[in-house]
Chain A
């Protein structure tokens, strides 16, 4: 917080200290690589990498200090009216809130419009449906995470319950469809609601005992439940197929009409030439519809008493109880609804992949969905969508950037660094924007004009 810029010597010393710590951290994990050779593990020294890492840390720290010093100097020159709160003095509040208000109002319709036209745009841009397959597949993947994010958003963003085992409900949905369709031969359209129902029931079952716990403890118990479900899926081989999973799950049909060539297929029904891409495009719109239903239900529920109770619960549990809100029931509905949407997404996952295995439902998946919700700004629909695009689509984009290979060498695979960056992004987000990308909140109910609430006014978790 020094207003005067630090003398260069102190700056160098400080950055040197950082580089020294970086050196200590990279010895010996980075400096020697272990590889399985003919006679056990062999070591390959990589001191060059350590040197460049330390140099990078050194330079970054100097840059950071310079920027911070300049900002502190500017803040010292112009006395801000709210010196007490750092956030208030750092940014001009009013203008920002207004633009963000517009963003959260217009963002979602823009996103939906873009998502609706994506297959068309991709087909036109690449010159046909089949070349556009890559983009449509990517769209399906991103939309799956958007849906999961919106589902978890009900639990974490609205009700303020940190659920680290969300993937369990995703798994319940996927296995429900996989088992019902392969064992009983039920069609996707019967299984979809059933899968949601089962997942919701599991949400109630798992939720009931744990909901009197709060914060960290609730998070850890949900994590334990998620892991238990995964371990049971692995070990209960007679039913779930063990770690090999369930294969040859029937594909989705167009409300009963299969996507195949021939007189009784989808293409004959609508009078188009048969194209295997029809199924992919159909899946794309299916997940888009499911995601939009999730979003719509959430938006509508927020206006009902139950939705308001969720948000009140997130802000202050003790006040909620004092006002006579049944906290257990409120939490349970949030948990069950979130689980239900997770179940829908799971059954979509199963029908798209045609194959499920416990590997798809590990803790990391829960963490990724949570990261999307957190980065998106807990409670913001548009923020979650943006975060999903950034976190799922971003690495894909990196993979296609050729110049990265020329910088980092031929063996560079950005996908390797995807989760690394994920982790870093979660930490960075908590430090710089703990309220997420879209951090301002518009109150669901208001007397008179609706005003966005700045992030520094939103307090949470004092209950």
Chain B
């Protein structure tokens, strides 16, 4: 029971991070129908931006308040990663609209390879450990020498995720941009006829995805305390799995999928084998795509001739 509760907490924390990344995949797929393969690497770039900014703030400018530093880093990382999302869409995807079916995916793979190697060349191949931040937590209950703890980090991660998701939901459901975004998702040509700037909306969608990935990147850095240039691939695939599981194109689906993937991963590691935890994630991806490609909350794809 104790182990179960502890894993539940850990799984939800991890799942929040996956959910944040998954939104980027699902939004982009919803609006232009492409798998943004480079999204995981944008997330990885954001972890490095956050890491360097954090080091700059604490070591050079001498900001000692963790809360202030966290807030500053969060905002700056979101802004800088948004620029990456914008640039990637502009350079690598926009010229391909109307090209053949596989072109955007191949281009995205190119971007993914470029980003991870760019960071490797710029920052070196070694793992980058960070000094421990925000240690400690609450002990919920303890029995038989096993204490179930809820660390401050986990609280922070879940709180930040919930606040952001609420804000994001408001943005998509209640603002003119959200309306334009949903319109483009339903029918891009019709939206353009009705005076929506489709290119701008798509660009903003990428920027928003990158912003959420940046938040996930900072939280990931905080949670694991170590990043490397190759960290984009596996979390990226897991987040994509989450998006597919939740039903690609559906925003609540992405979050629910993220939580489920996080839970499966932690429980699998705790009860079966930690070595095969990535196999579990990849298998779920394959199984979901083969047997229920529309996912939990997604709409079934209608084939138009």
Instruction: List chain A positions with a Cβ less than 8 A from chain B.
Output: 21, 24-25, 27-30, 32-36, 40-41, 43, 160, 162, 164, 209-210, 213, 215-217, 219-221, 223-225, 227-228, 231-232, 234-235, 318, 363-364, 367, 370-371, 374, 416-417, 419-420, 422-427, 429-431, 434, 459-462
Contacts and interface: CB of A to CB of B under 8 A. Distances in A.
Contact of A231 (B101, B104, B131, B278): B278
B35 interface: yes
A273 to B, nearest CB: 45
Interface string B37-56: 00000000100110111011
A210 B293 CA distance: 11
Interface stretch (B156-164, B183-191, B284-292): B284-292
A34 B49 CA distance: 11
Contacts of A224: 237, 282-283, 285-286, 289
Contacts of A422: 110, 113-114, 117
Interface of B is mostly: helix
Given A217-B289, A318-B305, A364-B113, A430 B107 contact: yes
Nearest to A213: B289
A216 B35 contact: yes
B105 interface: yes
B126 A36 contact: yes
Given A28-B52, A228-B279, A434-B99, A427 B91 contact: yes
A170 B103 CA distance: 25
Interface string B265-305: 00000000001101100110110011001000000000001
Contact of B55 (A34, A417, A462): A34
Given A29-B48, A427-B111, A235 B276 contact: yes
Nearest to B126: A36
Contacts of B99: 430, 434
Contacts of B119: 29
A210 B158 CA distance: 36
Contacts of A363: 233
Nearest to A211: B290
B172 interface: no
Given A231-B276, A460-B100, A430 B110 contact: yes
A108 to B, nearest CB: 24
B124 interface: yes
Contacts of A21: 83, 87
7 contacts: A29-B48, A30-B122, A216-B35, A416-B120, A426-B109, A460-B100, A461-B102
A40 B286 contact: no
B106 interface: yes
* Chain A to chain B: the 8 pairs with minimum beta-carbon distance, closest first: A461-B101, A426-B110, A423-B114, A423-B113, A427-B110, A430-B107, A28-B52, A420-B117
Contacts of A228: 279, 282-283, 286
A373 B13 CA distance: 41
B22 to A, nearest CB: 14
Contacts of B122: 29-30, 33
Q: By CB atoms of chain A within 10 A, which of B48, B55, B95, B106 has the most?
A: B106
A170 B151 CA distance: 45
Contacts of A420: 113-114, 117-118, 121
B84 interface: yes
B130 interface: yes
B66 interface: no
A424 B107 CA distance: 9
B250 interface: no
A460 B275 contact: no
B166 interface: no
Interface in B72-104: 80, 83-84, 87, 91-92, 95-96, 99-104
Contact of A43 (B59, B113, B293): B59
Contacts of A425: 110
Contacts of A318: 305
A43 B56 CA distance: 8
Nearest to B276: A235
Interface in B229-266: 233, 237, 240, 244
B128 interface: yes
Contact of B113 (A36, A219, A227, A367): A367
A313 B118 CA distance: 37
A28 B119 CA distance: 11
A215 B45 CA distance: 27
A427 to B, nearest CB: 4
B34 interface: yes
Given A162-B105, A426-B106, 6 more contacts: A28-B80, A29-B45, A29-B123, A34-B124, A423-B115, A461-B101
A176 to B, nearest CB: 21
